[in-house]
Amino acid sequence: MPSKGYKALEATEVENVENPFAITAEGIITPHYIIKIDDKGQFTSIFDKEAGREILQEGKIGNELRVYEDKPRNFDNWNVDAYYTEKSYPVVENAVCEWIEKGPVRATLKVTKNLLDNPFVQLIHFYADSRRIDFETEVDWKLSQHLCKVHFPVDIHTDEATFDIQFGNLTRKIHQNTSWDEARFESCAQKWMDLSEGGYGVSLMNDCKYGHSALDRNMSITLFKAGTEPFEKADLERHVFTYALYPHMGTWKEADTVQESFDLNVAAHAVKGGKAGDAFSFLSVDQKNVVLETVKAAEDGNGIIVRLYEVANKRTKVTLQANAQIATMKETNLIEEDAEFGKTGLKVEGDKASFTILPYEIKTFRITF
């Protein structure tokens, strides 16, 4: 898909398309994995065919939904205290698994189950052309002072995890060797977290959840938390969200985890219209470690504001391509005042602009056409 744009496609009928999926008594074989799934919709094995290795820790379960009693001492709707793990329940009651889709693009397993009359429905999507496994989830929750997490205990040799934050990422330790590590039993992240070793890793993504943990390489996300103070009915009723498992070759940088997380969070939309073959890109950049994050009208009405950031801790020379001749392009600060930070080396030629962005730097430009 063109950056900040569209492409017009034509639907056609195709016959005799080879189906790359095989549904087995134990689970599914995809172009990427051999996966064993129990009768509760939990993964007992994820074998990566390309890497020739098991992803889950021996004897552990992936996609384990577990509900914890959550009664913090103070600030019930905000805090999670470390002792929340002392009482928990697996979501396994009345489980029913049904394959509802098996085409050349993806296969889908529908899982319905309950915990104390709180229904969970999952559509687990396996793709032919993507390593990502999506867990599209709906929950009707009615039990206060409990939180729900999903767990993927992975067999990755590392003592730290990488967490996505706004305009970048950072690493945190995943052990409890010090008092401050022990206190950080849950970490903030936005679209993804990742555990990687030399040559291989696993990313866990989501489209709207922010509490993560990875103690002892058990990757997990807090899916909802039903506190009672100051609002006594917080997080009750219907929840709809998606999380995704993304095992990958190389590190998260080499595997384009950032791009995959944007594909999950900012999915392409299909609409009727256009002429097949037409394509348009308003703005694009030529480096995959530079994210073109914001394109907006300037607050004072003079041109547009473009904000970019670097995600791989790499000094990078970037070329920005526009769809029209650039009249002026100036660097600004975050409140759109003219400013210059360091030696950008900004050069504008026609519909292109080149500049240097520093590791994890955020750059903002005002462009007029």
pLDDT band at 342 (very low <50, low <70, confident <90, very high): confident
Query: What is the helix (H) or strand (E) element at residue 183, kind and residue range?
Result: helix 179-183
> What are 7-48's pLDDT values in tens digits?
999 988 888 889 999 999 999 999 999 999 999 999 999 999
In the chain, pLDDT over 70 holds for what percent of residues? 100
Q: How far is CA 251 from CA 221, 290, 362, in A?
A: 21, 17, 23
Q: What is the pLDDT of residues 235-282, one digit of tens each?
A: 999 999 999 999 999 999 999 999 999 999 999 999 998 899 999 999
Distance CA 77, CA 82 (A): 15
Integer Cα distance of 236 and 116 in angstroms? 14
Question: Could you tell me which of 146, 138, 96 has the C-alpha nearest to residue 116?
Answer: 146
Least Cα distance to 242 among 211, 210, 265 occurs for 265
Overall average pLDDT of the 123-129 stretch: 98
Find the mean pLDDT for residues 103-111.
96
Q: What are 47-76's pLDDT values in tens digits?
A: 999 999 999 999 999 999 999 999 999 889
Tokens matching residue 121: 């429905």
CA atoms within 13 A on the CB side of 253: 14
> What's the pLDDT score for residue 183?
85
Neighbours of 199 (CB within 10 A): 10
Candidates 243, 153, 164, 251; CA nearest to 199 is 251
Q: How far apart are the first and last CA of the chain?
A: 24
For the chain, which domains are there? Answer: 22-265 (2.70.98.30), 282-368 (2.60.40.2220)
Decide if pLDDT at 343 tops 80. Answer: no
Please give the average per-residue pLDDT across 160-185, as a whole number: 92
Q: What is the pLDDT of residue 49?
A: 98
- 255 within 8 A of 192, measured Cβ to Cβ: no
What is the structure's pLDDT at 270? 92
Query: In terms of Cα–Cα distance, which of 327, 323, 245 is closest to 279?
Result: 323
Q: How far apart are CA 62 and CA 308, in angstroms?
A: 36
Encode pLDDT of 290-336 as tens digits.
Answer: 999 999 999 999 999 999 999 999 999 999 999 999 999 999 999 99
